[in-house]
Amino acid sequence: MTRVTRLFVLIEGITFIIAALTHFGVLIGGYEHHLAGRAESVIGIVLLAGLALTWIRPAWTRGIGLAVQAFALFGTFVGIFTIVVGIGPRTVPDVTIRSLKTGSPSLALSAT
């Protein structure tokens, strides 16, 4: 269970960092949205910090995993809300990735 939790948190953290780099225009141009990039950076950093904590306190892995994944899911819901009200980025890749990012933490939460 510890490996599964760490794997989910690692994949989610990397996904959010990649999304942030895309929104900052580092990886792909044309999808810049600095507020989205900032939010995704925070979520990615929290996930990766949580991953590091699972190595420091292995007995707390499940709790840490649940906490950081719930935070990521909440952040994703905030992102969906910003898209719906017209504040957030509304490109096809953004909406698609946001949908996937909703499913990933949900799946991870059910796995841990």
Q: Indicate the pTM of the whole model.
A: 0.83
DSSP H helical ranges for the chain: 2-23, 34-56, 61-85, 92-111
Return the amino acid letter for 40. Answer: E
Cβ(37)–Cβ(24) under 8 Å?
A: yes
pLDDT tens for 8-30 read: 999 999 999 998 998 898 988 88
pLDDT tens for 64-75 read: 999 999 999 999
